[in-house]
Structure 1
């Protein structure tokens, strides 16, 4: 299997949808619309049938679960080319950005002032997810697996750290506006690395929209580099919810 596909599988294991079905090597995922990753078909390897037929199955699955049909595919892959040839188009309307850079880098150490919680606190939910009353889908996606919940200076910053094979999967890194530019993001990343190293992780991975220049700049200074990109694809026909 291609290294990019291996990393994508690890990342998918650290970000589990509420409902998942296998279609050959592909994974159909739904989580009540919470995040693109958890509500798209992860198109890796072979779906066990011609790609156009597999895309019809993606649409059927999406219709049943009340979400738009979307496919996540590694940029430049043979699978992505087949999806394009079947008439699907890049999902340029995806609010978080339809082209995503997957970065890998070293685990940090230290992280003074950051504590890791075994369960997300109300403050963590408020900062990392924007709510103190998460939906069942949010709770499932963000708490499934071996996960730690980092908090900096009690409530100034938060991060989600999950073990994905030998990788540390980082997500939901957030710092309150009044506490930015004080090194808290670096401290959160360092503490997440220390937390993960004690659980067998050897390297970090995170996914950042290519338009998020501040985040990309931060991770570059921490030693992260782009491994590959993925894109979201949707049917070209107008009504994408059926």
Structure 2
């Protein structure tokens, strides 16, 4: 079974920040404020200094890069109590939610079967309108981020291993979008979005099936997703596809931030 440390490191590699500096086994990350994951210190390893000193370094890093100081702390990890003792608090005001679940599951459980004659790794035509190009379309950007993405968004979403920009397009309109990044044998899934008028048609499930097929053709066997605990519809979808909770993490911030 993949350890928490290994899984968190792979997820971080799949979601690359603009700046990623090591402090021992910690990773100090900044990306212009785009997402908590790319703008927080990943605290799963040993920082090599007392936790209070490490958090002071996190605060200094945040000031230099003009972001809020945040620590990404695994629930129940060895560092959690130490972070709390320094006076930092769970960031209950975090826009994406203070606590997230990391789910994992076998890709084969929800990959779309390929019709006869479709080459391995090709997803176009597996389901109507589903494709996984390696470059994002304008419609993908509009749905997954915004029509005019910032440099930070382009970096975080556009890089990180082998990246696929899954979409369902019909009549030239992108109705659903998702990002997948293959790191080793892991597919990291993020930014799943469906236009409001196109929901409840099974597009998310079809799109994830196409993305899984694409990733299987690139050596992935397992998927990982980081989902806010309040996102009930997403959690129900992923669990119905065979994903289970691996662990949880929370964002922590200084009391004065």
What's the TM-score bracket when you normalise by the shorter of the two chains? over 0.9
Aligned to 1:139: 154
The within-5 A match list for 1:84-163 is: 84-107=84-107, 108-110=110-112, 112-113=127-128, 114-129=130-145, 131-145=146-160, 146-154=162-170, 155-163=174-182
Aligned to 2:52: 52
Mark the runs of 5 or more structure 1 residues left unpaired by the alignment: none
Mark the runs of 5 or more structure 2 residues left unpaired by the alignment: 113-125
Aligned to 1:81: 81
Q: For the structure 1 residues 2 and 178, does the alpha-carbon distance in structure 2 shift closer, same or farther, using more than 3 Å as the test?
A: closer
Q: Aligned partners of 1:39, 1:120: CA distance in 2, in Å?
A: 23
Aligned to 2:65: 65
Q: For the structure 1 residues 2 and 165, does the alpha-carbon distance in structure 2 shift closer, same or farther, using more than 3 Å as the test?
A: closer
Q: Aligned partners of 2:235, 2:29: CA distance in 1, in Å?
A: 27
**Mapped pair 1:171 → 2:173:** no
After the TM superposition, list the runs of 4 or more consecutive aligned residues in structure 1 that deviate by more than 6 angstroms. none
Q: Aligned partners of 2:89, 2:2: CA distance in 1, in Å?
A: 24
Shift of 1:165: 2.0
Aligned to 1:27: 27
Q: Aligned partners of 1:2, 1:196: CA distance in 2, in Å?
A: 19
Task: Give the CA RMSD over aligned residues.
Answer: 1.2
Q: TM-score, normalised by structure 1?
A: 0.95
Q: Aligned partners of 2:158, 2:132: CA distance in 1, in Å?
A: 14
Secondary structure, in 3 states, of the residue corresponding to 2:223? strand
Q: Aligned partners of 2:49, 2:218: CA distance in 1, in Å?
A: 38
Aligned to 1:226: 245
Q: TM-score, normalised by structure 2?
A: 0.90
Matched residue count: 237
Deviates more, 1:107-116 or 1:172-181: 107-116
Secondary structure, in 3 states, of the residue corresponding to 2:132? strand
Shift of 1:2: 7.6
Per-residue Cα deviation, 1:72-115 (whole angstroms, up to 9, x for no partner): 01111011121111111000000110100000012122251211
Aligned to 2:235: 216
Per-residue Cα deviation, 1:165-217 (whole angstroms, up to 9, x for no partner): 21100001011111111110001110111010011101111010001111111
Shift of 1:52: 0.2
Secondary structure, in 3 states, of the residue corresponding to 1:94? coil
Q: Aligned partners of 2:71, 2:184: CA distance in 1, in Å?
A: 24
Shift of 1:153: 2.8
Secondary structure, in 3 states, of the residue corresponding to 2:181? strand
